Structure formats: structure tokens, C-alpha cells
Amino acid sequence: MDEAKLLRDFEPVYEYLDGHNIYEVRNLARAFGINSPTSEKKHALIVRLIGVASGMAPPEQRSNKGARVKASDASAERVAKVRSLIEECAAQLVYPPAGEPPRLEFHDADPARRGYGERCLLGMVETNGRGPAFLRAADGSSSESDPVISEKKVRAYRLRDGDLISGYVSAEKGGPAEMTEFSAVNGAQPLFIERPLFDELPAVYPEERVPLGAGGNAALCAADYLCPVGKGQRAMICGRPGTGKSLLVREAAASVQRAMPEAELLFILPAFRPEEETELREMFPRAAVLACAYGRPAGNFARNAKLLAERAKRVAESGRDAVLLVDSLDALARVFREAPAQNAVYECEKLFTVGRQLRGAGSVTVLAVAPDEAGEIAQACAGAANAVLYLAEEAAAPGVYPAIDFSRSATRRAETLLREEEKAFARTLRETLADEGAAAMLRRAQEGPQN
């Protein structure tokens, strides 16, 4: 690592850290996993910190010797500031740090062992409350060959269900593969501070709209004004077969991907046609798609679905946005009924209520299909829903799907998601629907409020 180049490329980071006293710099260094920060002078410690935090230097090896290192006392605000400055500096580089973590080589006392693994894997953590954890696939699915994460590493890195990690795996002869060294946790350098807990962060009403009509679909363009969905919304999609429920999910996801590329998309598809699953995976290559095709045993699907919901929580805790799409709640309930010791109604309701906007953090938006609005699952989740999109064939314009029934669909506190000119446009759309019908209203919705 060229120190002069590092300091030139990340000068604002150095200036920020140099403005703190040595004790504060040491706490920040501990937060980014720097070993023995008290042994370095301030300048050298800042250089090490920037190298590791920016990814220009590999993470430092976590020692298993001695007493367990306590969590850093660095504030979450200062850690976030360092990360933000590093991201700004990296974006200005001609050749920014590569997304793939560098190959790590840590040599221990055994001369026959020249490193900590042969494979670099990306996956999702599943803990068992106590004992070792497992590295599941990035979509939450599991298999018997998944690598093990030792209980000591779970504690050291303060891992939670749904954390997305990359690192190196070593396969021992006669035993399971094991995670031996971590490169990144949730897409960034590992941190060693206590993280906020999702359920302890206050929830607030959605204030920023998730643009469903960014793809140009006429019905979803109208929905953006008549029954808007905000970040953190718990939205139910109610309708019988043939009204375009699955199409709505797919089009909404495409709009989110186009308008909010930084948002993380997660699909839970308990009973899907195989060709539809393939299409979704091709349309959303960066999304987590957990699917179980018709006619196949559900296996661990119930457990994996809950893990994907935990993943959405981890995204929101980190200050980012996740969109969880479930098609459908009834099919998911059937999966939970097949799993031992599972209360299907409770588990579906618990998963649905993950949706919320967190004050001072990110959001989880849930769009869940309920084929039978009078069914037990839909009724159980209806009380928690703060947006409902009803679909009915008789409400659709000819050839327009999804067939949203705008006379019944509604969003709680929709006015907070619309600007003044958009509120006026929504009134115009409702008047057009009443006077001229659905087709005219949809045409005007596609034109937008500026027209």
C-alpha cells in the first residue's frame, strides 16, 4: 500500500480523523477492526485505519488469544461519517477500489498451512441463538453443505440473522467447510461496534414515495397518485386470479429497480411457476429471489423465508432501503402449516409487519399479495396494513393490467406522500375516472401532473 497515494486519494478522511484527539482515533480504529491501536502514533494509526476502512488494505486478522476485545466506544455517527467520506473519495478515483475483496493471506505458526482458505464466498448468516451459525446462500436458501461460522466469530463480529457477509472458507478433511476470515459485512468493511436493533428503532409514518409507475405501466402511474406507496409501507394487494396480481409485483419491482437502484429487492415466492421464477431471476439479477415451484416439496422454505425477512431488517438498520415482495401470503401460510411447530397465521402476520420506516435509519417496504381478501390470512394482516390495492376485472380499462380498482384502493395518510401539485393532479384523476371512465383516467395518469 502506497502511503503517499492513500493520503492523497483520501485526504478529506485524513483531515477529519486528524481533527480528533488520539483517544477518539483509537476508538474509531477499534471500530474498524484495527488490532492494538494503542501501540501506534496518531499519524500511523490514521493511515492504517484509512487503509482498512477503504478496502485498500485487507482487514486485519482477528486474534483468538487473550481476553475478548470489547465493543468500540466510537459513536455510530462518527463511524458513519468516516464511511461517508471514504465513499465520496472513492467515487472520485479514476480507478476506485474493486468490488471484489482482495485475496487474503494470513500466515500462522503452522508452516504447512499457508492461508485461511481456498474459496471466497458471499452469503447470508443464519444463527441458532447460541452455538455456531451457518452461511446460507445469498437468497436465503439453505443446504446441508453450507459452511459453518464458529460461535467465537459470531460473537467477535456481532453477527445477526440476515447479515450478508463475504469471506474465505476452508474445508477441513473429514469435517464441514468453515468460514475462516471475513472480508465484508453487509457490503462494507466489518465494524466492531454495537449496532442499533431494528425493533428498538422508532417507526414513523412513510414520508417518501416509492415510485411504482416508473416503468410506464398506466395502472401503476395512476396508483402513484391515487393510492401511493411510501418507503416503509405495509401494502396488501388483494384480488382474484386473472386480475394481474403477479404482474403488479413484477412491474412494481421493475419500477423500484429503475427509480431506486440502491434499494435491495427481496422476493418470497412460495408457489411459483418454474418459468416465472426463471424470468424474475433474469429481470432482477441483483435481487434475492427465494422461490418454490408448484409441485415441489417446500423443505426449509418457511425457515428461509423468515431469514429473508431478517435480511430486510439488517438493510434498514444500516440506513438503507429494502423492498420485500411476497406472492402470495396464502401460499406462504400453506408452507408454514407444513413446517413443524409453526403457527401459520402468526408467522405470516409477523413477516408482513416487518414493513416500516425507521427514524434515523432506513426502511422496509412490504408488498404482499392476498388472493382471497376474505380469507383468514388476509384478515389477520389487514389490521397491520397501511395501504391496500384492490384488483377487480370489472374495474379495468380494456387490455390494461393490473386491474386496480381505484374506487376501493387507499393509502393511509396518502397526502404526506404527495406534493401540492400532485394532490391537485390526484383530484383531477378521480374526477376523470368518475366522468369519463378508467381508460381516460389512465391516459391522463401516464401524461403526468405537468400536463
Burial class (CB in 10 A: 0-12, 13-18, 19+), 400: middle
**Residue 100 located in a structural domain:** no
Q: What is the pLDDT of residue 62?
A: 65
**Residue 398 located in a structural domain:** yes
What sign does the dihedral 257-122-105-39 (CA atoms) show? positive
Nearest residue to 322 (alpha-carbon basis) of 135, 91, 164: 164
Q: What is the pLDDT of residue 67?
A: 43
Same domain, 246 and 362: yes
Distance from C-alpha of 269 to C-alpha of 289, rounded to nearest angstrom: 8
Among the three residues 175, 194, 213, which one is the final residue of a domain in this structure? 194
Distance from C-alpha of 76 to C-alpha of 196, rounded to nearest angstrom: 9
Q: Please list the alpha-helical segments (H only) found in 133-265.
A: 151-156, 218-226, 245-259
DSSP notation for 22-73 = HHHHHHHHHHTT-S-GGGS-HHHHHHHHHHHHHTSSPPPPPP-SSSPPPPP-
Which CATH number fits the domain that encloses residue 156? Answer: 2.40.50.140
**Residue 102 located in a structural domain:** no
Same domain, 181 and 327: no
Give SS3 for 79. Answer: helix
Same domain, 182 and 316: no
Same domain, 40 and 20: yes
Nearest residue to 99 (alpha-carbon basis) of 166, 46, 39, 148: 166
Cβ neighbours of 398 (radius 10 Å): 6
Same domain, 306 and 184: no
By the 8 A CB rule, do 201 and 385 touch? Answer: no
**Residue 245 located in a structural domain:** yes
Contact partners, residue 323, CB within 8 Å, separation at least 6: 210, 253, 256, 260, 263, 264, 265, 266, 364, 365, 367
Contact partners, residue 82, CB within 8 Å, separation at least 6: 13, 16, 17, 28, 32, 49, 53
Question: Where do we find the cell 465484508?
Answer: 184
Phi, psi dihedral angles at 258 (to 5 degrees): -75, -45
Same domain, 300 and 241: yes
**Residue 112 located in a structural domain:** no
Distance from C-alpha of 361 to C-alpha of 73, rounded to nearest angstrom: 20
By the 8 A CB rule, do 370 and 328 touch? Answer: yes
The model's pLDDT over 234-271, given as tens digits with 9 standing for 90+, comes to: 999 998 888 889 899 999 999 999 999 999 999 999 98
By the 8 A CB rule, do 148 and 177 touch? Answer: yes
Same domain, 174 and 59: no
Same domain, 385 and 246: yes
Which CATH number fits the domain that encloses residue 372? Answer: 3.40.50.300
Among the three residues 194, 211, 234, which one is the final residue of a domain in this structure? 194
Domain interval for residue 330:
203-447
Spans in the chain with pLDDT lower than 50:
66-68, 98-117
Q: What is the pLDDT of residue 95?
A: 59
Q: What is the pLDDT of residue 68?
A: 47
DSSP notation for 270-283 = EEE-HHHHHHHHHH
Same domain, 331 and 314: yes
What is the total count of domains within the chain? 3
Same domain, 154 and 267: no
Same domain, 422 and 333: yes
Distance from C-alpha of 338 to C-alpha of 381, rounded to nearest angstrom: 20
Which pTM value belongs to this model?
0.84
**Residue 97 located in a structural domain:** no
Among the three residues 57, 92, 127, which one is the final residue of a domain in this structure? 92
Same domain, 171 and 221: no
**Residue 105 located in a structural domain:** no
**Residue 98 located in a structural domain:** no
